[in-house]
């Protein structure tokens, strides 16, 4: 599966980030805890440069907790303090606010000694589409301030949101990069919903996902789709069998692969198959598809 997607508004988003960075004190880079490597836009570091940055992994409630701990240790070894959050329930939000204050404490104290009027910590939230930036801002602010949605590309323009007298947040549109050098990156982004389903072969995508999960989380898919045996079965076979079990049958007794593919992807994204992480540290990007 070859996935390339770079709509025009992505170039505009890069300009927005670069132009407004001088007004920002701290950058929060939001990643998907299920795909920490694939959800990291390699262009962000080049745009942000030396600005103080906090790495935040969202959707931690959907990720495999054991592997999340591995990622936490890996980031610590690289000199990053990481925060795992659930932007819907609010888990980890207090820790994130504390981290913002801690990063800026020297500037705040310097301004106080000089008698300057305190101004809020200006924080830019950056990340790929559909990673939960607007939901995070709403949770930090304690009110519905940013536009949210369950599809990529909802936030189109920058937004400044006043949290309180201490913190001011800038929401930005999600940004992808022009070309996925590793095909697995594109697949991981598509599986988690960062790329619109409308431009993807969802049957192939769901087949790839099931084949991968049959090796990494076999009991999860056996239980969820009542599959009796996974041995030596390819993704399409697993998808077809799951479709039969779910009653996704069309005229002639054939399986409606499009329907069962949509079900599998939706249930993965909603955590109904279980808490699953597709990448481990140590793998630049874990292979979903054999070359």
Residues 194-209: pLDDT tens digits?
888 888 899 999 999 9
The reply to whether 194 falls in a domain is no
How many domains, the chain?
A: 2
Cα-based distances in Å from 59 to 5, 26, 37, 48, 215 = 23, 22, 14, 23, 23
Q: Are residues 88 and 12 in the same domain?
A: yes
Q: Which domain range does residue 25 map to? A: 8-171
CA distance linking residue 36 with residue 90, whole number of Å: 20
Q: What is the mean pLDDT of the segment spanning 116-134?
A: 83
3-class DSSP string for 160-210: EEECCCCEEEEECCCCCCCCCCCHHHHHHHHHHCCCCHHHCCHHHHHHHHH
- Share above pLDDT 70 across residues of the chain, in percent, rounded to a whole number: 84
CA distance linking residue 108 with residue 116, whole number of Å: 9
162 labelled binding-site residue: no
Q: Are residues 41 and 95 in the same domain?
A: yes
Q: Are residues 75 and 206 in the same domain?
A: no
Residue 86 near residue 92, CB atoms below 8 Å: yes
Q: Are residues 136 and 39 in the same domain?
A: yes
Query: Within a 10 A sphere around the Cβ of 159, how many other Cβ atoms?
Result: 17
Which residues does 112 contact at the CB level (< 8 Å), separation at least 6?
118
Q: How confident is the model at residue 7 (pLDDT cuts 50, 70, 90)?
A: low
132 labelled binding-site residue: yes
The reply to whether 218 falls in a domain is yes
251 labelled binding-site residue: no
60 labelled binding-site residue: yes
Q: Are residues 110 and 213 in the same domain?
A: no
- Considering the chain, what is the average pLDDT of its residues? 84
**The pair of three-digit structure tokens given for residue 96, joined into one six-digit string:** 């994130």
Residue 219 maps to which CATH number? 1.10.1580.10
pTM (2 d.p.): 0.84
59 labelled binding-site residue: yes
At 231-244, the pLDDT tens digits run 889 999 999 999 99
The reply to whether 127 falls in a domain is yes
61 labelled binding-site residue: yes
Which residues does 291 contact at the CB level (< 8 Å), separation at least 6?
none
pLDDT at 147: 43
Residue 85 maps to which CATH number? 3.40.50.300
174 labelled binding-site residue: yes
Which residues does 275 contact at the CB level (< 8 Å), separation at least 6?
61, 62, 63, 64, 65
Q: How confident is the model at residue 186 (pLDDT cuts 50, 70, 90)?
A: confident
Q: Are residues 163 and 60 in the same domain?
A: yes
Q: What is the mean pLDDT of the segment spanning 64-81?
A: 90
Q: Are residues 40 and 163 in the same domain?
A: yes
Q: Are residues 83 and 137 in the same domain?
A: yes
pLDDT at 152: 43
24 labelled binding-site residue: no
157 labelled binding-site residue: no
The reply to whether 60 falls in a domain is yes
């Amino acid at each position: 599966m070859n996935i390339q997607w770079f709509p025009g508004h992505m170039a505009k988003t890069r300009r927005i980030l670069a132009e407004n960075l001088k007004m920002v004190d701290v950058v929060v880079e939001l990643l998907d805890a299920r795909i920490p490597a694939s959800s990291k836009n390699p262009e962000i570091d080049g745009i942000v440069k030396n600005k103080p940055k906090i790495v935040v992994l969202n959707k931690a409630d959907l990720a495999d907790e054991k592997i999340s701990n591995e990622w936490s240790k890996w980031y610590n070894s690289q000199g990053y303090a990481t925060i795992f959050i659930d932007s819907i329930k609010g888990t980890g939000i207090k820790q994130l606010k504390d981290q913002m204050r801690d990063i800026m404490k020297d500037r705040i104290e310097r301004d106080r000694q000089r008698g300057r009027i305190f101004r809020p910590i200006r924080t830019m939230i950056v990340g790929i589409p559909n990673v939960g930036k607007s939901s995070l801002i709403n949770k930090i602010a304690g009110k519905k301030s940013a536009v949210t949605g369950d599809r990529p590309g909802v936030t189109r323009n920058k937004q400044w949101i006043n949290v309180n007298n201490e913190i001011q947040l800038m929401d930005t549109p999600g940004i992808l990069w022009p070309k996925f050098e590793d095909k697995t990156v594109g697949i991981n982004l598509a599986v988690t919903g960062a790329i619109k389903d409308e431009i993807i072969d969802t049957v192939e995508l769901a087949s790839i996902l099931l084949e991968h999960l049959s090796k990494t989380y076999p009991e999860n898919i056996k239980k969820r789709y009542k599959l009796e045996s996974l041995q030596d079965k390819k993704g399409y076979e697993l998808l077809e069998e799951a479709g039969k079990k779910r009653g996704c049958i069309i005229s002639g007794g054939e399986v409606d692969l499009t329907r069962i593919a949509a079900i599998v992807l939706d249930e993965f994204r909603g955590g109904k198959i279980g808490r699953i992480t597709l990448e481990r540290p140590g793998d630049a990007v874990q292979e979903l598809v054999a070359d």
